């Protein structure tokens, strides 16, 4: 087995975890080199990603590991790609150490957040695979871009409720806040497809899950050169609870019955008012969104 140099960019919130230290020790015991950079404040992840690019030749970094949640994966990949010209593929592979709350992307690539040692060992020995990424107005997402009322609900649901009740917590919050949050409305266009109206939620998936294991794009693939578009039209008021239940319970069969789904290479979304979008959990607001897929843009251990 070839020995690798793994560079961990570790979310500072997880720096004291015993299982992380045990995982690093276990992989070093396999003969691999593991170097660690711990984030402390905003901007650290991007800075460490740029540092890995600069040090790659001398330090011979083989795998850059995002040790955190989906937001950390987003920041690491975005931080690297933002420093490369054109469509140049990064000189090292990426891997995931799932230390977040939901770990939606990690679960999609079948990593077990309860077994951090195995996850890091997998990063040290598995073969990287070409993997697509998406962009929204030039900003990277690895897993999924989501928007609309459903996105607001996931961001405003109390973490304590999520821990206690799982998907039911989102349903409770959605019903409680529905009268306060106006519907999103816009025009959505892709090749051979256009739709206009009010929507409860929309998702553009490279991965399948977001918002705590909600399968918004249940058939998405990471290496098909396409993104999966899911639109949940705004229902009549009397059917709001039913639609929210389908959304947050995450039943793919029921979702397909009520959602508009397409597979696209690019899509444009225009809204009258600013819409909140989450890129791998990182929020921003816009009225016009140009979304594209970039096939085989990175190599990922999955």
Q: Scanning the structure block, which residue is given the tokens 């150490």?
A: 97
Give the pair of three-digit tokens for residue 66. Answer: 């995002």
Rounded Cα–Cα distance for residues 22 and 27 (Å)? 9
Q: Which residues are catalytic?
A: 282
Rounded Cα–Cα distance for residues 259 and 64 (Å)? 37
Please say whether the beta carbons of 142 and 46 come within 8 A.
no
The CA distances from residue 85 to 47, 88, 89, 271, 291, in Å, are 17, 6, 9, 31, 19
Give the pair of three-digit tokens for residue 114. Answer: 């309860």
Rounded Cα–Cα distance for residues 245 and 221 (Å)? 25
Strands 184-190 and 266-279, sheet pairing: antiparallel
Q: In 3D, which of 167, 296, 159 has the Cα closest to residue 221?
A: 296
Rounded Cα–Cα distance for residues 49 and 112 (Å)? 24
Please say whether the beta carbons of 291 and 227 come within 8 A.
yes
Give the pair of three-digit tokens for residue 164. Answer: 């206690």
């Amino acid at each position: 087995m070839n020995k690798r140099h793994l560079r961990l960019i570790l979310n500072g919130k997880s720096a004291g975890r015993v299982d992380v230290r045990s995982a690093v020790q276990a992989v070093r015991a396999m003969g691999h080199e593991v170097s660690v950079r711990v984030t402390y404040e905003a901007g650290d992840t991007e800075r460490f990603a740029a540092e890995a690019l600069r040090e790659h030749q001398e330090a011979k970094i083989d795998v850059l590991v995002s040790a955190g949640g989906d937001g950390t994966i987003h920041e690491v990949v975005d931080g690297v790609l933002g420093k490369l010209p054109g469509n140049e593929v990064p000189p090292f592979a990426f891997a995931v150490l799932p230390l977040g709350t939901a770990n939606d992307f990690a679960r999609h690539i079948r990593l077990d957040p309860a077994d951090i040692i195995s996850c890091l060992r997998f990063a040290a020995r598995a073969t990287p695979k070409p993997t697509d990424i998406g962009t929204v107005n030039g900003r990277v997402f690895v897993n999924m871009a989501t928007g609309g009322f459903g996105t607001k609900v996931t961001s405003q649901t109390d973490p304590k409720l999520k821990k206690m009740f799982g998907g039911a917590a989102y349903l409770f919050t959605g019903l409680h806040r529905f009268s306060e949050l106006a519907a999103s409305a816009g025009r959505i266009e892709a090749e051979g497809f256009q739709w206009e109206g009010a929507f409860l939620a929309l998702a553009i998936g490279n991965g399948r899950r977001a918002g705590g294991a909600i399968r918004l794009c249940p058939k998405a693939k990471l290496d098909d050169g396409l993104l999966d578009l899911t639109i949940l039209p705004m229902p009549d008021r009397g059917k709001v609870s039913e639609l929210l239940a389908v959304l947050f319970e995450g039943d793919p069969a029921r979702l397909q019955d009520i959602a508009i789904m397409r597979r696209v290479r690019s899509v444009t979304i225009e809204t009258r008012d600013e819409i909140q979008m989450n890129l791998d959990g990182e929020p921003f607001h816009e009225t016009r969104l140009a979304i594209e897929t970039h096939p085989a843009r990175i190599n990922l251990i999955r």
